[in-house]
Structure 1
Amino acid sequence: MCGISGIFDQFQASRIDEALLTRMSSALEHRGPDGSGHHVEPGVGLAHRRLAIIDVEGGAQPLYNEDGSVVVVYNGEIYNFVELMSELTAAGHVFKTRCDTEVIVHAWEEWGEACLSRFRGMFAIALWDRRQQLLFLARDRLGIKPLHYAMLADGRLLFGSEIKSLLVCPELSRELDPCAVEEFFAFGYVADPRSIFAAVKKVPAGHYVLARRGQRELSAPVEYWDIHFDEVHSGSPEAIAAELRERLMEAVRIRLIAEVPLGAFLSGGVDSSAVVAMMAQISEHPVNTCAIGSTDPRFDERAFAQRTAVRYGTHHHEKVVSPDDFELIDLLGPMYDEPFADSSAMPTYRVCELARQQVTVCLSGDGGDESFAGYRRHRWHLYEERGRALLPLWARSPLFGLAARLYPKADWAPRILRARSTFQALSKDSTEGYFESVAILPDQLRHSLLSDQLKCDLQGYRAVDVLRRHADRAPAHPLSRARYLDLKTYLAGDILTKVDRASMAHSLEVRVPILDHKLLEWVGGIPPRMLLQGGEGKAIFKQAMHRDLDAEILYRRKQGFSIPLAAWLRGPLRSKARRLVLSSAMLDSRLFERSKLRWILDQHESGMRDFSPVIWSLLMFASFQARIG
């Protein structure tokens, strides 16, 4: 795993600021402590930080084709590089190394942009083709690896694995994007292609960007892959479960290629346990597994992780952290570069810290819930869609909207008893209804929190438009639709961002076999009725793992990677939260209604309402504001 950065002068082949390029690369040293490399020519500078995994001796970057006219820096792993190397050698290409990086330059020569369809893995690529005077930036299909870019007024294009590598450039504007602020307070992250900074964009998952010398405007990102949920598998559940297990086994197998110590996260949940079970049955040696425990039994899943570890004889490593392990708060801002409100980033950081003490590469179970309809909200979306089907929107909206206003609010109650939330969802269309289920701040609260000035700057933009961008291509079936929207937004924006930054802060590579695109494309053909049975999510996945995992692992209640956030914000974090949220930087930012900030804090501290997700988001934003000034 690595960090990449670079400068491209789109207007002219002028001298590159090598000192700036060096600072950009140095900002990413944590992503690649094993070495660095640069390529500089008129108008182009590429930089690379290396974490050596494959071809440790010969795989240094930048890496070139035979005559040096094509040069690449990249972050990731191409798991089918051996097969591609054989195919390209047969086509006449000459290889100097045995690493996956060199495959990229020859694949570009052979297939151009279509080379991306040949790659199986995770990647962020920056490739310069001197003959075509073309810079090629590409990101993997699911967005496992990040890639950011910004165009300066003088025609220079900057790019980097993390925003911090771009911010070292003094000419880069720090002006915030008001639409990104709206998105953050809706989702807890800023969705592709935006960043919190108006000048900085993210290459969206499954897209590439072309920058040509002499071209005045940067071309829009081009999509090269999408996931489809077509019901194509007609076999019995038993046959489909058996094939699913074999395909997962293969996706795990190809991710065990490494010349450094390798292990796995083991939370005790279904997904990570399934990955460990596959690894253990493939590997000749015991698997290294890592788990984080808590001194608070409500947040401790070690007993379940230990069951799988004992069953498969893993070398199991655990670290127990206090439920008051909130010292990481001050690290989260610099780690993520923009506001990021998923509080599970803290235990994720700790498990990556533990893993790096044992291994350099870890496999994770990320993507299982998005792929197999494992979230509670997936089930509720299905139920609510059945309700919406009974009446047209023009009749539902006023009827259930009135019911929601009249029914008392009960945030404390289980979802099934929160009729007001259900009424609100039923008064919306399908996309807006699903948005209500994923938003950390519902529209009404967010609207009252954000200032009139910000709402004016938004010019009518709403965070639900993030989902609407994808909704037209989403499948009709509610379960497939919810999964599609999650894969396009929450997965890349939250889950994969969280894991990438937390792991790379420790120079740890994380591989995600459940998000293997060939496996995911096949999973897209499983009939939705096999995913949800009797209210049990991921039914076909659990059936596939039935002989590999204990029933107690497969069918226990989903817990998640949690921290006692509400209690923290009424106790040890109370003064810090109040100090930061009501700081002069926040109050003078012209982004928030001052009285609403105080009201939210007062309501939560009194115990009248649980506003912990709202306050945590404000705390993360305040921490970000304090850094950028």
Structure 2
Amino acid sequence: MCGLAGVARRESRGVATEMLDRMAGALRHRGPDGSGRYADAQVGLAHVRLSIIDVAGGAQPLGNEDGSVLIVYNGEVYNYLELRHELVAAGHRFRTRSDTEVLVHAYEQWGTGMLGRLNGQFAFAIYDRRAGTVLLARDRFGVRPLFYSIAHGDLWFASEAKALFAGGEVEAELDPVGLDQVFTFWAARPPRTVFRGVYSLEPGTFAVWRQGVLRHDRFYELHYPEAREESSDTLPTLGGLLDSSVALRLRSDVPVGGYLSGGLDSSITCALAARESPFSLRTFSVTFDDPELDEREFQQLVARQLQSRHHIQAIGAHDVASVFPEVVRHAETPLVRTAPAPMYLLARLAREHDIKVVLTGEGSDELFLGYDLFKETALRLFCLRQPQSQVRPRLFDRLYPYLDPRGRRGDFWRRSFLEAGAPDDPLFSHLPRFLLTARIKDFYSSDLRTTLAGGDALEELRASLPQQFASWSPLNRAAYLEMVTLLSPYLLSAQGDRMSLAHGVEARYPFLDHRVFEFAARL
């Protein structure tokens, strides 16, 4: 895992290496193992490296044999060995063992068609010197970030916005619309960010810069072709996919650890990793002084069963507050929850024990409908089918058992679900969350309200939904919304990539193998 940055100028007026060094310096936490840069009259590339595969080789920027194709790359392509075999058979010659070089030759062989062949989490920029183009691409689910801005006619890009600002030509200025999205969805929705003129490349898309114009296209879309019946081999098929996904994500020249929350998803991930890993698995957990938050009993139970070398980050009353300023600096966004702080501390613990790659269970709840939100959606639909019933709404009192029971009882609690929106609203499943979060807007100043007048974050989301959205089942519509409003822009970003890479730790997500997603979407 690494950090990348660069600029593609509209005109050939040179790229200062000092500027590239500043951009790379802003990303040093992402890649403490090395750095490199390239500059010509029109394009500059900078890179900081977290060495995981081909530790001795694989330095970036990396090019093909004649240097006509150059790449800076953040992430991992897990099926790089299989792709390398194809490329060697096609006549390509390799000088490193890295997955980075596989991407260079894959681009030469297949162009942007390479993207659909990749199984991984990635963001990269490829400079094709002969064609005079720069290709930006981001993985299917948005695990790895890629930001860009067009300033003074030039394209700037980087793994984090702070690197764009370090270049000195992109202004750091608040975007009120992006801010409003944070206080609706918990995060700004790509391509929007909280910075004016700074954009996030959308998951599953690529963009090509040519002659001062950036053109976007999509190589992957979320789709839910729900089957009418479940196949008899569903469980064995799922087991095989998860085995394969974990095995691919154990490909590394350094030991791979695991985050262990004590829940089902991380326990499955760690159990499969312990079985497949050539190293003795090391697991990492957070515990809390507050017994209502603490899950150490389950964590230790699983760790003992797996015989892992288990490490604990204890979090007391003041620990979250003490690191929160750094958490916000790395997240580069306002935060409506403190949950990223424990993840920041957990990554620090892993790095202190010389682990810079971890497997984690994010994505399973979105794929297999594990969140209480999905139960809530089904229950709201059940109650609204008989709106006069006095009995059905009492089932809401059983939702969210981890919340204080004094606040989840009675008519007000029940009406908050039943009156949040009509079942024919495309956002039906998420309206209770969106409307509750939006109460933060009560604190907006009159000037901000005036600036935002005429805009509607919810209406913009409705307008962006894919054409086939209405044909999906209510729960699959909810799953899609969870993927695009929470998983990618918040859980994988502010709570994921930014917190782990703050300490030079790469998180890998077996449940977010696209084969696993596509299997789950068909159930």
State the TM-score, normalized to the length of structure 1.
Answer: 0.76
The C-alpha deviation readout for 1:440-475, integer Å capped at 9, x for no partner, is: 7455x3553323433332242222135321264435
Give yes or no for the alignment of 1:517 onto 2:514.
yes
- Output one character per residue of 1:155-214: Cα deviation in whole Å (capped at 9) or x when no partner: 12111000110111333223322211211111222221111111100001111111102x
2:78/2:248 contact within 8 Å kept: yes
Which one of the candidate residues 259, 269, 273 is aligned to 1:279? Answer: 273
1:234 CA drift (Å): 4.1
Aligned ranges 1:212-291 → 2 under 5 Å: 212-213=210-211, 215=212, 217-219=213-215, 221-232=216-227, 234-236=229-231, 239-291=233-285
Task: Report the Cα distance in structure 1 between the residues aligned to 2:135 and 2:386, rounded to whole angstroms.
Answer: 49
Task: Compare 496-505 and 430-439 and name the one that shifted more.
Answer: 430-439
- 1:37/1:62 contact within 8 Å kept: yes
5+ long unaligned stretches in structure 2: 388-403
Say whether the 8 Å CA contact 1:122–1:145 is kept in structure 2.
yes
Tell me, yes or no, if structure 1 residue 343 matches structure 2 residue 359: no
SS for the counterpart of 2:32 is: coil
Partner of 1:320: 314
303 and 289 in structure 1: CA distance in 2 versus 1, 3 angstrom threshold = same
Matched residue, 2:500: 503
From the superposition, tell whether residues 466 and 288 of structure 1 become closer, same or farther in structure 2 (CA, over 3 Å): farther
Residue identity (%): 38
Q: Note the 1:130-529 alignment, pairs <5 A.
A: 130-152=129-151, 154-213=152-211, 215=212, 217-219=213-215, 221-232=216-227, 234-236=229-231, 239-325=233-319, 326-358=321-353, 359-386=355-382, 413-414=407-408, 418-427=413-422, 429-439=424-434, 441-443=436-438, 445-446=439-440, 448-465=442-459, 467-468=461-462, 469-470=464-465, 472-474=467-469, 475-497=471-493, 498-526=495-523
Q: What secondary structure is seen at the aligned counterpart in 2 of 1:128?
A: strand
8 Å CA contact retained: 1:182, 1:462: no
Question: CA–CA distance in 2 between the matches of 1:74 and 1:285?
Answer: 27
Give the secondary-structure state (helix, strand or coil) at the position aligned to 1:328: helix
Equivalent-residue separation in structure 1 for 2:32 and 2:416 (angstroms): 49
CA change 1:416–1:55 in 2 (3 A) is: farther
Q: 1:386 Cα shift?
A: 4.6
Tell me, in whole angstroms, the C-alpha distance in 2 between the residues paired with 1:466 and 1:491. 19
- Listed one character per residue, the Cα deviations across residues 224-281 of structure 1 (whole Å, up to 9, x for unaligned) are 10122112484456x3122212211110011111111211000101100000111122
1:259 counterpart SS class: coil
What displacement does 1:51 show?
0.5
List per-residue Cα deviations over 1:102-137 (Å, max 9, x = no partner): 111111111111110011100001000011110000
**Alpha-carbon distance, 1:438 to partner:** 2.8
The SS at the match of 1:38 is: strand
1:615 corresponds to which residue? none
**CA offset at residue 18 of structure 1?**
1.9
Q: Which segment drifts farther, 499-508 or 432-441? A: 432-441
Q: Deviations over 1:452-500 (max 9, x none)?
A: 4333322422221353212644352111111111112210111101111
The alignment's C-alpha RMSD in Å is 2.1
| Residues 137 and 42 of structure 1: CA distance in aligned 2, closer, same or farther (over 3 Å) | same
* 165-174 vs 287-296, greater mean Cα deviation: 165-174
Please say which of residues 326-335 and 425-434 is displaced more in the overlay: 425-434
Per-residue CA distance 1:531-576 (angstroms, 9 max, x = gap): xxxxxxxxxxxxxxxxxxxxxxxxxxxxxxxxxxxxxxxxxxxxxx
Residue 435 of structure 1 deviates from its aligned partner by: 3.5
CA distance in structure 2 between the aligned counterparts of 1:416 and 1:138, rounded to whole angstroms: 50
* Cα deviations by residue, 1:338-358 (Å, 9 ceiling, x for unpaired): 223331111111111111122
Quote the Cα distance in structure 2 between the aligned partners of 1:484 and 1:162: 26
Matched, 1:2 2:2: yes
SS where residue 292 of structure 2 aligns? helix
Deviation at 1:388, TM superposition (A): 5.4
Which of 310-319 and 164-173 deviates more? 164-173
- The C-alpha deviation readout for 1:341-384, integer Å capped at 9, x for no partner, is 33111111111111112211100001111111111111212233
Deviations 1:396-441 (A, max 9, x none): xxxxxxxxxxxxxx99532785122123224474334333233274
Q: Is the 1:388–1:426 Cα contact (8 Å) retained in structure 2?
A: no
Separation of aligned partners in 2, 1:126 and 1:415? 52
Partners of 1:178 and 1:305 in 2: how far apart?
41
Change (3 A) 1:281 1:101: same
| Aligned mates of 1:229, 1:194 — CA distance in 2 | 25
Query: Aligned equivalents of 2:436 and 2:408: distance in 1?
Result: 18
Shift of residue 94 of structure 1?
1.3
Give 1:385 deviation, angstroms: 3.5
In the alignment, is the contact (CA less than 8 A) between 2:4 and 2:24 conserved in 1?
yes
Inter-CA distance 201–379: structure 2 relative to 1 (3 Å threshold): same
Decide which moves more: 417-426 or 129-138.
417-426
Query: Hey, what's the Cα distance between the residues in 2 that align with 1:416 and 1:191?
Result: 34
Give the SS at the match of 1:267: coil
Aligned residues: 502
**Closer/same/farther in 2, CA of residues 389 and 45 from structure 1, 3 Å limit:** farther
Q: For 1:455, give the aligned amino acid.
A: R
C-alpha distance in 2, partners of 1:434/1:471? 16
Give the Cα separation in 2 of the matches to 1:15 and 1:453: 41
Q: Which sits farther off after the overlay, 419-428 or 19-28? A: 419-428
Q: 1:544 — aligned with what? A: none
Deviation at 1:389, TM superposition (A): 6.2
Give the deviation of 1:218 after TM superposition. Answer: 2.7
Unaligned 5+ residue runs, structure 1? 392-409, 527-629
Tell me the SS of whatever aligns to 1:430: coil
Preserved CA contact (<8 Å) 2:35 2:49? yes
The answer on whether the counterparts of 2:256 and 2:358 sit within 8 Å (CA) in structure 1 is yes
Query: Residues 473 and 22 from structure 1, CA distance in 2 versus in 1: closer, same or farther, beyond 3 angstroms?
Result: farther
- Aligned amino acid, residue 244 of structure 2: E
Corresponding residue for 1:42? 41
Q: Cα deviations across residues 28-78 of structure 1 (Å, max 9, x unaligned)?
A: 001001100111111100011001000011111111112111000100000
Counterpart Cα distance in 1 of 2:230 and 2:405: 43
